[in-house]
Structure 1
Amino acid sequence: MIPHTTFATKPYNPHKTIHCNILIVGSGLSGVATAYEGLLAGKRVCLTEITDWLGGQISSQGTSALDERPTQRSKLFYSRGYLELRQRIQNYYNQLNPGKCWVSDSCFLPNDGHHIINQMLQDVAKKGKGKLYWFPNTVIKELDISNGKLINSVIAIQHKSAKGRPPLNTFPLSQIIKDAYKYENSPRFEKKIIRFIPSQHKQNKNPNWYIVDASETGEIVALADVPYRLGIDPRSHLEPSSSSINNDPYCTQGFTYTFAMSATKEAQKHKMPSFYMRYSPYFSYELKRLANFPLVFTYRRIWNPIQGKPMKFGGVNFTTPMPGDISMQNWTWGNDYRPGTPKDNLIYTHEQLETSGQLKPGNWMGGLRTESLRKAEELSLSYFYWLVAGTTDSRLGKGIKKTHPNHRFLSGLNSPMGTIHGLSKYPYIREGRRIIGRPSWGHAEGFTIWEIDISRRNYQDFYYRQTLSPKTYNSLQVALSGLEAMSAVSGKKLLEETGRRTRSTIYADSVGISHYSIDFHPCMVKSPPEGHSNEERKNERKGAGQAYPFQIPLRAMIPQKINNLLVGGKSIATSHIASAAYRVHSFEWSVGAAAGTTAAFALENNVVPYQLVDKLPKIDPNLIKLQKLLNQNGNHTAFPKTSIFNNNWNDWY
């Protein structure tokens, strides 16, 4: 539990009022994709961002290595904006993979990611005759909600460096985040209070603007106080691989401050950080087959001006690192910070927010634990020192880790991360708050995409027979029996005789697609997470593995209560396990494209998004129109040959 805190607030007078058709909170790939489609639809789009870069994962979070699955990549079956992004990267460098990394077909510099995205949005604004109003260094402070159903206005705070003070991006996030959310000017920042309101007023009761939560942690979801989940879901026939019988909101996936390092001709002098010994017990190559520094360096190499000699390690082909090469580091047993207890969880739960007073008017401070941000920053700086000077390995023992002094930590405003401290401007967040969708047909407690909706796992495995109760196991097998479910329920066919489903769930209200494996970076058992001999939470990786190509249903983007709020990022209605696949670059773009198109469609057709899905399985004519528009625009709502009769997805990896 966190202590009760009272924040000092005072009446505010906005410095300016901005009119929007669509207000997007968060300029990551999801927010950018929302803006992209909104601009092409000719709308006034307002876009806020806590940092000063567009692009999120590929820029301010430093994870500029596109996570993609081989089959989808080979067919280039992506949203039109994501395809344009890939092409612009290709054009910018005259190659798609200037880093010659081996984790992806495209690894590049984060600072370039921002510039590429910026130019994309300028170009589509001209093409679609929309208007883009971008607000960097801006956080959302308050929502004005009427009758608990509509957001009427939004108050934000934009900051810039005070006169005579160091420039922005001098200090890491943990040192400036509390200041950024306060109305008052400070010795560090000058503030501007901005009020966002609709662009036009309608005579009817339908919304006249839409707010899209594309933030990394589900900030507006928390501030609007709509129902949501956080962390582990209880084990059930829908989430059979859950590591807990009960829910655990404190165990979310680890988050990461990335950094860039360059290979050098000469050995560098490296000073041990004062806090290094606190974190050194955590670091490890993890597996003996990965205890190869050139392999780790080139894993996410983002710049490779001179190609080295070809090398092969297991099934991985790469080239030797050369002086001038730049690597971005994002390693589970390196700079992943993985708290999992109420003492150190990063994203505050609803209970913690209430206890701290952040849900009271004017008291919102971002909903994050500053101390965990600070420790994650220290962990990353320590991890660099371990890579170049460390000689211990927490999991593999002595004699494994060698020193590699011919490397330099890259920092400065012109560095790949664009910060004087050298860390990414914002951490890469793998999991935030996840809404619970509205009750619908087959989802009486609120719509959710569950583990079994996407996973390729064999649920007839002995583990599930042993772990689940007989009743839960039978419910699981019935749920997986697809077209044979009625025969199984009626007893006409034994559960063992029903076929195992070999596709993901098909949604009548699909508005987007994605494909990625269920990839886990589990929380640690004890606090602090970097402590000696700490371990990952047992069975958290049980749900990890391959997934079938999956869809993004509109119901997963519509929260309860608020009618003009859409979720366009990682906070859609997924379970803890399913969210581990619904978080990568192409997904963010696809769900953002759906959010932007849906918001524009709703305004133009005088409908509210929930009205398109609240009568399912009966199909609303406007839902068909929306899906047709998405597909015509190159924003796919289904993979090729998707059908309840097609179970042949073995080639999709």
Structure 2
Amino acid sequence: MSLSRRTLLELAALGVPFAGTTPRLLSEAPARDAERSADLVIIGGGLGGCAAALAACRAGLRVVCTEATDWIGGQVTSQAVPPDEHPWIESFGCTRSYREFRDGVRAYYSRHYPLTTTARNTARLNPGNGSVSRLCHEPRVALAVLHELLAPFVSGGQLRLLLEHAPVAADLAGDRVRVVTVSHLHTGRETVLAAPYFIDATDLGDLLPLTKTEFVIGAESQKDTGEPRAPAVAQPLNQQAFTWCFAVDHLAGEDHTIEKPTDYDFWRDYVPQMHPPWPGRLLSWAMSDPITLATRRLSFDPDGAGGEGLNLFVYRRIADPANFLEGRYASGISLVNWPQNDYWLGPLLGVDTGVAATHRARGKDLSLSLLYWMQTEAPRPDGGAGWKGLRLRDDVVGTADGLAKAVYVRESRRIKAEVTVTELHVGTDARVAATGVPRADVTAASFPDSVGIGSYRIDLHPSTSGVNYVDISSLPFQIPLGALIPQRVENLIPACKNIGTTHLTNGCYRLHPVEWNIGEAAGLLVAQALAVREPPRRIRSDPKALAAFQDVLRRNGLELEWPKLRPL
């Protein structure tokens, strides 16, 4: 399939992988800006990219950060996913700057929103009162807070944000990246970015193939990783579902039914072919329980408590009218990121551009079909069918079609790293079996090169190979510096889901506070490498250099070890 240059760049902005090392069409000669240079170039403005930029700027570096959409923030903004966090997040278990971000969200509501007296006096305000998180909030608020954190460096010229720019090529000198070329989505104008260090903070690890950095995709074999739950044979195309998120509210008595989606009939009747089996149609109020895989009953009711099981409207609600003065919200607003709009009929990585684009388009159709089903056919607690008053809130996510600006990607290309975190390091059952320590006392593996901490269950959504949920207990873990250092390339550092984890452990390293910690550590690592004139690999291998770097991390508010806690 022949795609125009503009189409290629639009796909790049949405994170579509390319079959080759560059989407550039060689027959075209795009206009170029003069080369820009900096101390650090960050490709990708998601949470990891923002944290890396903030840390590097605070350390005095000159930084260029690109972002394929027109919103920085990734998971929490352009992908419209409220934070998924561990249960201790309000007290410990994240970096100081991530806490600044969280506090900034609450302060923004306090400054700019007409809160009730009760809400204004609630120290740990949850604007949406969603049950998934202690801080469910609107994407635009997170966007505003991130810009506020970065604003002093942008204004002072220390940080240059290039929005709607995607990487299209890279030039190498041996094991070092010399420059990365990015192209503007709308104009096609290319900018060549030069720096001694580059950070890949894209959701799919877009720089890895461009820079010929060794990486893996999908599920590794048990022989490769030693993980009890890994498959016997590697499955590169076995990748977690992705999701096009969207926001809705409900205006009773009104009709906001959308046009019937193209493939609605297919999705309405679609029964997932999973192992273990899925309990019936995807578009229903039943799903596989992620942990037990038994049938789990759900409900949906935007106006009440709902029926049997979890009320999905409340689950990821990002605005609860009860927190605001009467009249501010006509309805609660809920973010739809559910099993019913997880797309697993094909992967985004390891297939050619056209196939990936088709999967993305079908993923969008699935999300719109879910909405249409809820508006027209979904069973109601009162015995009726459908909620015509469900309104797609395109204004909340900032798009014309009402779906998030970028797809929520759970699994990326992952570098072949100096250290790869496996189930044997963090899985509760695997650790008990390997160490003989009782379950009540077992801990995750201790990494002497820790650059941060995180905690979440090993949570894998159904995959493109037909594997149902894999959701298993894990232990509060550390982030080893070795997982941020490629085996060969010297000056490229990953800053999100592209670190040295496996298909399995990616399931607990992929969430909001961990991605932020990874990005912040990456930014400080580059600053330290430039300050001491030693490459990251040398900093890790030299005990004195490593200790000095870890002192820098602690002074900047990164926690490197956990107190004793129970497994999740």
- Judge conservation of contact 1:612–1:622 (CA < 8 Å) in 2: yes
SS in 1 for 2:36: strand
Amino acid at match of 1:522: P
With over 3 angstroms needed to count, the CA separation of the structure-2 counterparts of 1:621 and 1:4, relative to structure 1, is: closer
Gaps in structure 1 of 5+ consecutive residues: 160-188, 199-208, 309-321, 357-364, 394-398, 439-446, 461-476, 483-497, 526-535, 641-647
SS in 2 for 1:135: strand
- Judge conservation of contact 1:258–1:428 (CA < 8 Å) in 2: yes
User: In the alignment, which of 456, 463, 474 is matched to residue 523 of structure 1?
Assistant: 463
Deviation of 1:227 after TM superposition, in Å, equals: 1.9
Paired residue for 1:389? 376
Paired residue for 1:131? 158
Paired residue for 1:464? none
With over 3 angstroms needed to count, the CA separation of the structure-2 counterparts of 1:458 and 1:508, relative to structure 1, is: closer
> In the TM superposition, what are the counterparts of 1:165-176 in structure 2 within 5 Å?
none
With over 3 angstroms needed to count, the CA separation of the structure-2 counterparts of 1:4 and 1:511, relative to structure 1, is: closer
Amino acid at match of 1:135: L
User: In the alignment, which of 469, 480, 499 is matched to residue 572 of structure 1?
Assistant: 499
- Cα deviation, 1:562-607, whole Å, max 9, x if unaligned, reads 1010011111000111000000000011001100000000001100
- Judge conservation of contact 1:49–1:137 (CA < 8 Å) in 2: yes
Q: Report whether the alignment pairs 1:152 with 2:79.
A: no
- Judge conservation of contact 2:31–2:188 (CA < 8 Å) in 1: no
Amino acid at match of 1:335: N
Gaps in structure 2 of 5+ consecutive residues: 1-16, 111-118, 120-124, 271-281, 288-294
CA distance in 1, matches of 2:502, 2:516: 20
Paired residue for 1:466? none
User: In the alignment, which of 183, 188, 191 is matched to residue 188 of structure 2?
Assistant: 191
- Cα deviation, 1:242-295, whole Å, max 9, x if unaligned, reads 2x2101111111111100111113231524223211211232321453134341
TM-score by length of 2: 0.83
Paired residue for 1:405? 388
CA distance in 2, matches of 1:275, 1:377: 10
CA distance in 2, matches of 1:593, 1:499: 32
> In the TM superposition, what are the counterparts of 1:297-312 in structure 2 within 5 Å?
297-306=313-322
CA distance in 1, matches of 2:430, 2:33: 58
> In the TM superposition, what are the counterparts of 1:87-236 in structure 2 within 5 Å?
87-94=103-110, 96-123=125-152, 131-147=158-174, 149-159=175-185, 189-198=186-195, 209-236=196-223
> In the TM superposition, what are the counterparts of 1:306-455 in structure 2 within 5 Å?
306=322, 323-332=330-339, 334-339=340-345, 344-347=346-349, 349=350, 352=351, 369-391=356-378, 402-411=385-394, 415-438=395-418, 447-455=419-427
TM-score by length of 1: 0.72
Paired residue for 2:53? 35
- Judge conservation of contact 1:481–1:500 (CA < 8 Å) in 2: no
- Judge conservation of contact 1:291–1:401 (CA < 8 Å) in 2: no
Paired residue for 1:607? 534
Deviation of 1:559 after TM superposition, in Å, equals: 1.0
- Judge conservation of contact 2:218–2:239 (CA < 8 Å) in 1: yes
Amino acid at match of 1:457: D
With over 3 angstroms needed to count, the CA separation of the structure-2 counterparts of 1:590 and 1:23, relative to structure 1, is: same
Paired residue for 2:262? 274
- Judge conservation of contact 1:32–1:55 (CA < 8 Å) in 2: yes
Deviation of 1:81 after TM superposition, in Å, equals: 1.2
SS in 1 for 2:103: helix
Paired residue for 2:93? 77
- Judge conservation of contact 1:43–1:130 (CA < 8 Å) in 2: no
- Judge conservation of contact 1:45–1:130 (CA < 8 Å) in 2: no
SS in 2 for 1:449: coil
Amino acid at match of 1:631: R
Paired residue for 2:508? 581
Q: Percent identity?
A: 29
Q: CA RMSD in A?
A: 2.8
- Judge conservation of contact 1:481–1:501 (CA < 8 Å) in 2: no
- Judge conservation of contact 2:30–2:188 (CA < 8 Å) in 1: no
CA distance in 2, matches of 1:330, 1:346: 18
Amino acid at match of 2:312: V
With over 3 angstroms needed to count, the CA separation of the structure-2 counterparts of 1:40 and 1:307, relative to structure 1, is: closer
CA distance in 2, matches of 1:229, 1:277: 36
User: In the alignment, which of 528, 540, 543 is matched to residue 620 of structure 1?
Assistant: 543
With over 3 angstroms needed to count, the CA separation of the structure-2 counterparts of 1:241 and 1:299, relative to structure 1, is: same
User: In the alignment, which of 18, 39, 47 is matched to residue 65 of structure 2?
Assistant: 47
Q: Report whether the alignment pairs 1:632 with 2:555.
A: yes
CA distance in 1, matches of 2:24, 2:66: 24
Paired residue for 1:239? 227
SS in 1 for 2:235: coil
SS in 2 for 1:211: strand
- Cα deviation, 1:608-641, whole Å, max 9, x if unaligned, reads 0011234xxxx5211100000100110112123x
- Judge conservation of contact 2:95–2:557 (CA < 8 Å) in 1: yes
- Judge conservation of contact 1:210–1:565 (CA < 8 Å) in 2: yes
- Cα deviation, 1:139-167, whole Å, max 9, x if unaligned, reads 011111012x11111111013xxxxxxxx
- Judge conservation of contact 1:227–1:436 (CA < 8 Å) in 2: yes
* Number of corresponding residues: 503
- Judge conservation of contact 1:39–1:130 (CA < 8 Å) in 2: no
SS in 1 for 2:69: coil
Amino acid at match of 1:448: T
CA distance in 2, matches of 1:581, 1:421: 31
Q: Report whether the alignment pairs 1:480 with 2:435.
A: yes
CA distance in 2, matches of 1:23, 1:3: 21
CA distance in 1, matches of 2:344, 2:161: 32
Amino acid at match of 2:85: E
Amino acid at match of 2:446: I
Deviation of 1:58 after TM superposition, in Å, equals: 0.8
- Judge conservation of contact 1:480–1:500 (CA < 8 Å) in 2: no
- Judge conservation of contact 1:233–1:239 (CA < 8 Å) in 2: no
- Judge conservation of contact 1:39–1:125 (CA < 8 Å) in 2: no
Deviation of 1:83 after TM superposition, in Å, equals: 0.3
CA distance in 1, matches of 2:18, 2:535: 40
SS in 1 for 2:94: coil
Which structure's CA Rg is the greater one? 1
- Judge conservation of contact 1:47–1:133 (CA < 8 Å) in 2: yes
Paired residue for 1:485? none
CA distance in 2, matches of 1:303, 1:383: 21
SS in 2 for 1:432: coil
- Cα deviation, 1:93-123, whole Å, max 9, x if unaligned, reads 1263211111111111112221211111114
CA distance in 2, matches of 1:275, 1:589: 37
Amino acid at match of 1:634: G
Q: Report whether the alignment pairs 1:649 with 2:537.
A: no
With over 3 angstroms needed to count, the CA separation of the structure-2 counterparts of 1:559 and 1:288, relative to structure 1, is: closer
Amino acid at match of 1:613: R
